[in-house]
Amino acid sequence: MTRIERLRVEHYATALGIGTPSPRLSWTVGDAPDNWSQGAYEIEVSKSGQPHEAYSTKSNDSVLVPWPSVPLRSRETAQVRVRVQGTSEDWTPWVEITIETGLLRPEDWAAVPISNPPSSTDVTKPPFRLRKVFTVPEASHSRVRLYVTAYGLYEAYLNGQKIGEDIFAPGWTSYYARLPYQTYDLTNLVRPGENVFGAWIGEGWYAGNLGYHGGKRNIYGERIGLLAQLEIDGEIVAKTGEEGWEWSFGAILSSEIYHGEMYNATLPDTDFEQGDWHPAELLPAPSVPLVSSQSPPVRVVDTIKPKQIITTPSGKTIVDFGQNFGGLIRFLSDPSCADGEIVIRHAEVLEHDELGSRPIRYAKATETITLGTRSLVGYMPRFTFHGFRYAEITGWKGLELSDIEGVVLQSSMTRAGDFRCSHPLISRLHENCVWSTMANTISIPSDCPQRDERLGWTGDICVYAPTMSYLFDTSGFLSEWLVDLAHDQQRLDGIVPIFSPDTGTDVSTPEAIWGDAAVLTPYDLYTAHADVGVLETQYASVVSWLKDGVRRGRTGLWSKDQDQLGDWLAPKAPPETPNMGPTDNHLVADAWLIHSTKSASKIARAIGRGAEADAYQAEAQRLTDAFYAEYVTASGRLVSETQTALCLLLAYDIFPSQKYLNGSSKPNPAQYIRQLFAERLVNLVRKANWLVDTGFAGTPIVLQTLAQTGNIAHAYRMLQARECPSWLSCVLLGATTIWERWDSMLSDGTINPGEMTSFNHYALGSVASFMHNHIGGLTPLEPGWKRVSVKPQPGGTVTWAKTSHQSPYGKVSVSWEIAQEEIVVQIEVPPNTTAEVVLPGWEAGRSETVGSGKHSFRSKYVLPDFPPKVYTPHFAPIRPNEWVL
């Protein structure tokens, strides 16, 4: 029987404390007959003390359907139920969800922040505890809510029990502009009579050390503290700022993002009855809006059992977890220790069989635990995290593998995409992409999880967002981050900072690719999730970047006086100057400017701004003509002709208008130029022996461009290359995540001597999109995967592959296998969507459209000869005056 499987509110399965008065609804349908499409939906809304509301609409909309009722008020609860009808069948059963708003107005807050006395501003702030004893009447209560946030990080407790599963709350945002709060249901935790509310407060990102080269403290404020309001059935029973709040130090002596934690188990921890307590001090009220956090909270998403214990040549004890990840170590046993102290140092790699800690630079990444009489089973640091595979543990006598476990932390996005194939190294490469995504989505999209950085670099996510949005449901995570980016950009008069939240530790300078995140990442989110609201929210940021952020020359292209990071980390760039690759930096910047201008046109059109869309489209073509005048000779030679340069023109369809091609004898000169550039790209790839010669700008598109220009065999050969620089060279050296550099680890086991070397950077993992879109063959044709392309492109030595993605409409998947000169393709299309199918072996131009359900196809097909032939020095230059610039 057809039924609704998932009913969600603003991308979320639960709707406690939401921050919007008019939440949108989405649902997926399951157990539907083949070719099912929705014909109508009904929504019923019930609110306390108000008449029942019913809304019926003939529509196939099922993603982010507008709220049908009047806006909700603060703390208001609505019981919502939904059912749908196919185009030719009965209604589905009702599915219900409860929606409850948080505190939507500033005047809803009666609490005032509190803290302990101020300390020195130039050293770490020791975490401290706060407590409040309050009394609950014996009468029954139906709803108990805690609204809570902090200047810094908090971990809250009620009667000694941790509240919720969140870690690093309230998360990292642009505290200059807004402060998120969380809502917790304590109905089943409070007890009649006396209750003790407690909290640990740590400096976190708010006041802790941030930034590379030693960083900076107190970026957002010098005092850390708590803001909390506890309500029973709408009545405030405890709030920070009133009498009775006390503070005390405890077992956590220090806990810093970069440097780790010092813990003394002889001192009290979660027993808020113990300690030397003093009256808390008041802090100024927040000067920025308090907003309900909509990004998924950081939580424990997995655990890892250690694989082996190693004794190093110097006699150190190192635990190998077998996987590089972002997280912490948790004790499963009480340590036995001769001198009463355990020290744990973390690193991603070994160098010559010792802990390779040089790449983490100024970060100490160290836990120091002083033992006491209290059990440490379950101990895990509070306000720090590390990127590591290896842990050097000193002082633990008789350490065994069963004594500890690795705890994987991540903003708790739902896993959405998967990929596997017959080639084990390619499958492992894809897993590396997943692990790097997880480690670099701890509250924000970061560059790395291990060294003195861990910042929201805008260029990294700009190139990686499509891949991330296939692997995980990024709808809330990235849309929240984009709000911070827009706030930071507004503070900087249109310039997009190179990382967001902006830490103020660098002079902000406009940079192509990094700044283009303001345009391209919202559009990537829209493509993945069909959320027009993201485009509407970010449109001012889009306009501001292109109007005020980009420093232009007389032609409208980037000013040559503005330095650019270019094709960052291209393999041929010198180790200490990664912006000095072979591709002209301004060529890269201008190609991305054209790409962003085209995307701005699409965004404007999607939100109903047709005139602005036309203007951006015309501007993109004008910039393209200026680009050709600047970078292409009259005989058709491209300045700085590299893999990256050619990929940018081909992938982003950067070709001049017809007026610049007058005099050409070709019936379609633009197509002719496209073919010639594609041939030149193949020649360059072959000349490089199919090794990667791209950095940030070219890597996300090099394999895609080869495939889209009819050169799939060359794409596979580049993917399957094993020499450095290549993706598989890293896998063959034992990589379990994506590296920052192609040669982060040298073949002799020595860490790259460059000052900037990370073993967990997701940007070069954008290759996973080629696996999804071309090997697997899945690509959205309409925003939100309403219409899907199924076009697997076998090649190389891959004989089978499968990929799937949990789209806003449900699971879409493709699997294929080649056997006995035939390819068999199985696809699954979710209800209320269609797929356009094109199979290898079909004659050119043939395609089939299928509706929802499971479908099977067979086609005669034989894998072509592989690998392609080696390079021979042949180029096909455009003859002089073949076209005129």
| 815-827 mean pLDDT | 96
- Does pLDDT of 504 surpass 90? no
pTM across the whole model: 0.96
CA dihedral defined by 435, 506, 701, 828, rounded to 10 degrees?
Answer: 40
Listed ranges 499-508, 668-677, 767-776; the one with the highest mean pLDDT: 767-776
Q: Is the pLDDT of residue 595 over 70?
A: yes
Q: Which of 5-19, 223-237, 615-629, 717-731 has the lowest mean pLDDT?
A: 5-19
Name the more confident of 591 and 874.
Answer: 591
pLDDT at 849 over 90: yes
* pLDDT for residue 505 is more than 70: no
H/E run at residue 3: strand 3-9
Gyration radius (Cα) of the chain, Å: 28
pLDDT at 874 over 90: no
> In the block, which residue shows the tokens 């948080």?
102
pLDDT digits (tens, 9 = 90+) for 257-269: 999 999 999 999 9
The whole-angstrom separation of Cα 490 and Cα 492 is 5
What span, in angstroms and rounded, lies between the C-alpha atoms of 861 and 822?
5
pLDDT tens digit string along 355-407?
999 999 999 999 999 999 999 999 999 999 999 999 999 999 999 999 999 99
Is a pLDDT exceeding 60 seen at residue 877?
no
Residue 664's pLDDT band, with cuts at 50, 70 and 90, is: low
**Is residue 872 very low, low, confident or very high in pLDDT (cuts 50, 70, 90)?**
low
- Burial class for 781, CB neighbours closer than 10 Å (0-12, 13-18, 19+): middle
What pLDDT was estimated at residue 352? 94
Mean pLDDT of 198-224: 94
Catalytically active residues, by annotation: 453, 740
pLDDT reported for residue 865: 84
d(CA 336, CA 349): 27
pLDDT band at 167 (very low <50, low <70, confident <90, very high): very high
Q: What is the mean pLDDT of the segment spanning 196-225?
A: 94
Q: Rounded to whole angstroms, how far apart are CA atoms 849 and 838?
A: 9
Using N-to-C axis directions, what is the helix angle for 517-529 and 458-471, rounded to 10°? 10
Q: How confident is the model at residue 471 (pLDDT cuts 50, 70, 90)?
A: very high
What band does 881 get if pLDDT is binned at 50, 70 and 90? very low
Query: What is the structure's pLDDT at 658?
Result: 76
d(CA 37, CA 783): 17
Instruction: Over range 521-526, report the average pLDDT.
Output: 99
More confident residue, 193 or 506: 193
pLDDT band at 662 (very low <50, low <70, confident <90, very high): low
Q: How far apart are CA 606 and CA 523, in angstroms?
A: 10
CA angle in degrees (0–180, nearest 5) for 538-539-542: 95
Mean pLDDT of the chain: 95
Summarised one tens digit per residue, pLDDT across range 215-245 is 899 999 999 999 999 999 999 999 999 999 9
Q: Give me the pLDDT at residue 657, please.
A: 82
Q: Is-contact 513 185, C-beta < 8 A? A: no
For residue 665, the model assigns a pLDDT of 61
Q: What is the average per-residue pLDDT within 800-821? A: 97
Q: How far apart are CA 468 and CA 439, in angstroms?
A: 12
- Lowest mean pLDDT of 107-121, 144-158, 523-537, 726-740, name the range: 107-121
Asked if residue 698 lies in contact with residue 643, where contact means CB atoms within 8 angstroms, the answer is yes
The string of DSSP letters for 368-421 reads EEE--SS--TT---SS--EEEEEEEEES-TT--GGGEEEEEEEE-PPB-EEEEE
**Is the pLDDT score of 882 beyond 50?**
no
Residue with tokens 């503005």: 562
pLDDT at 12: 85
- For residue range 400-417, what is the model confidence (pLDDT) as tens digits? 999 999 999 999 999 999
At residue 214 the predicted structure's pLDDT band, cuts being 50, 70 and 90, is: confident
